[in-house]
Structure 1
Amino acid sequence: MTDYLLSLAADPAAWVALATLIAMEVVLGIDNLIFISILTNKLPEHQRERARRIGIGAAMLLRLGLLGTIAIIVQLTDPVFTAFGHGFSWRDLILIAGGLFLVWKATKEIHHNVDPDPGPDMFDNKGAGQLGFAAAIGQILLLDLVFSVDSIITAVGMTEHIPIMVIAVVVTVAVMLLAATPLANFISANPTIVMLALGFLLMIGMTLIAEGFGAHVPKGYIYAAMAFSALIEGLNMLTRRAGQRKKAAMAQPSDPASG
């Protein structure tokens, strides 16, 4: 085992594969992180940080656990039945189910954001209009499973070395842990960002459904659209802040000495 690890460490191709896989896993982790941020922001403030850590930690445990059953994961891409001329595998079914859940959840969150009196949600804490801690963790774990299966299958397609996959998963989760709270705070402080992020979740959900039905959507197009939307919203935020500063300056009384 030691000789195997040393040979990997001395192989430049292994380092290239590791760097590429980490980059891919971080990009794929953005989807998961947006969902976790939006969901945990609905919890009481003293529970948010803990929920994020549990959710992201569970994502790491799920992915490492799935790596231990990699032979089974690879077989998830084998068709189990055919419908509409397409052979559906377990991976396809998982992606479709996860995509439908994301579309449903994003639609419900948009409804709650635009309706002044949306009423209790099925996951509300005793109908109080507040998400329960256990319900939040349950939803995070559900999406963790979907993203973890997709992540592991992507990793298998890029390298056959388990240690490289393990390192990539650990590094990705560390990045997610560092970025989770700043991203959640930024989303919470900017209401328009919430709607933009929910739009991202809708797009990601539809992409998962399309992938499940065999329609491959290049990830570059998805993330380019997300980056462009984020850029436009960033410009809007700068414009609003400039307008607020201008109004504040005009509202200040003039200095009598200067008159």
Structure 2
Amino acid sequence: MTELLFNPDAWIALLTLTFLEIILGIDNIVFLSIVSGKLPQSEQPKARRIGLILAMVFRIILLFGITWVLSLQNVLFHIDWGFFKAGITGQSLIIFGGGLFLLYKSVTEIHHKLEGSEDSEAGKASNTLSSAVIQIAALNLVFSFDSILTAVGLISMKSPAEGGFGYEGALVIMILSIIISIIIMMIFAGPVSKFVNEHPTIQILGLSFLILIGVMLLAEGGHLAHMAFFGGTEVNSIPKGYLYFSIFFSLFVEFLNLRMKKSKNPVKLHNNKIIDKSLEDTDITN
């Protein structure tokens, strides 16, 4: 531990991994903001805290069970239907299932916000803290697998003599990076959620990002299972750099739009309980 403390490479690895954990956690914060935004104001901070604590706990548990996590890359069974071939692994099932869940949840949320379905009894019944925590926990499990595999690929577990940090050293670096990144996300989760829920265009943009991430998870799950169609056209994963560049560029454009339209009153989505201010002065009796 003392050698690790005074090792510049260890500090660089910690900072790099912490930064990556925060970047990879952006989709988690967006999902937290959307789900917690449907709860009463008093319960929203609690839902965000529980969600981020669950993310930290899942990641640390998976780190201690890294051997089991890596074993999920082993093929469970093969599929060969002529036009479709795949070698299904535990990891591909988890990633693919998470992508399907994210696509379903994102499309459903967009429908609710635009069509006003949240005002129905079924919609109200689902807007509870326990329901939000279950949804957050399910998605956190998928994001945790992705985060841990990224960390393991970045931090060398070779012995110090071989140029690595050793198993214990690498584990310490990864756990510290997770704790630091979650603390930072906890600090900014409140302001980010408030900003997202106050701007309908940001909400729809955030849900669109989640659709993109869901598609990325589907492609990654297919790639991990070596899915191939029609005699050898194999599914490839989508580089995360392209995806996050498009997300940040879209946010940059939207921030410019918000500054230009700051003096105008935005149209509120159905879950915000506030209608367009231009309608407030309209005499509905006419």
Give TM-score, length-normalised by structure 1: 0.86
| AA of the residue aligned to 2:63 | L
* Residue 229 of structure 1 pairs with residue 250 of structure 2: yes
C-alpha separation between the residues in 1 aligned to 2:90 and 2:145? 10
* Residue 152 of structure 1 pairs with residue 173 of structure 2: no
Q: Determine helix, strand or coil for the equivalent of 2:78.
A: strand
Structure 2 residue aligned with 1:42, among 38, 45, 52?
38
- Kept in 1: contact 2:111–2:117 (CA 8 A): no
Aligned pairs, number: 236
Q: Determine helix, strand or coil for the equivalent of 1:88.
A: strand
Deviations 1:182-220 (A, max 9, x none): 110001111111000000010001100100000221111
Deviations 1:141-191 (A, max 9, x none): 001111011111111111121001100110111111011101100011111
| AA of the residue aligned to 1:220 | G
1:189 to 1:13, Cα distance in 2 relative to 1, 3 A:
same
* Residue 217 of structure 1 pairs with residue 217 of structure 2: no
Corresponding residue for residue 196 of structure 1? 205
Deviations 1:17-72 (A, max 9, x none): 21211111111111111101110000011100011111111111111111111110
- What is the Cα deviation at residue 75 of structure 1? 1.2
Corresponding residue for residue 64 of structure 2? 68
**Mapping 1:97-246, distance limit 5 Å:** 97-117=97-117, 120=120, 124-126=123-125, 131-159=127-155, 160=157, 161-214=170-223, 215-242=236-263
C-alpha separation between the residues in 1 aligned to 2:71 and 2:116? 47
Unaligned residue ranges in structure 1 (runs of 5+)? 245-259
Give TM-score, length-normalised by structure 2: 0.78
C-alpha separation between the residues in 1 aligned to 2:118 and 2:5? 56
Deviations 1:50-106 (A, max 9, x none): 111111111111111111111101111222223333322211111111110010000
- Kept in 2: contact 1:210–1:217 (CA 8 A): yes
C-alpha separation between the residues in 2 aligned to 1:191 and 1:102? 20
- Kept in 2: contact 1:111–1:118 (CA 8 A): no
1:80 to 1:60, Cα distance in 2 relative to 1, 3 A:
same
CA-atom RMSD in angstroms:
1.6
Unaligned residue ranges in structure 2 (runs of 5+)? 158-169, 224-235, 266-286
- What is the Cα deviation at residue 10 of structure 1? 2.4
C-alpha separation between the residues in 1 aligned to 2:239 and 2:78? 24
- What is the Cα deviation at residue 11 of structure 1? 2.2
**Greater share of residues in helix:** 1
| AA of the residue aligned to 1:185 | K
C-alpha separation between the residues in 2 aligned to 1:121 and 1:101? 23
1:143 to 1:121, Cα distance in 2 relative to 1, 3 A:
farther
Aligned-residue identity in percent: 39
- Kept in 1: contact 2:118–2:124 (CA 8 A): no
C-alpha separation between the residues in 2 aligned to 1:145 and 1:78? 19
C-alpha separation between the residues in 1 aligned to 2:259 and 2:253? 10
- What is the Cα deviation at residue 125 of structure 1? 4.4
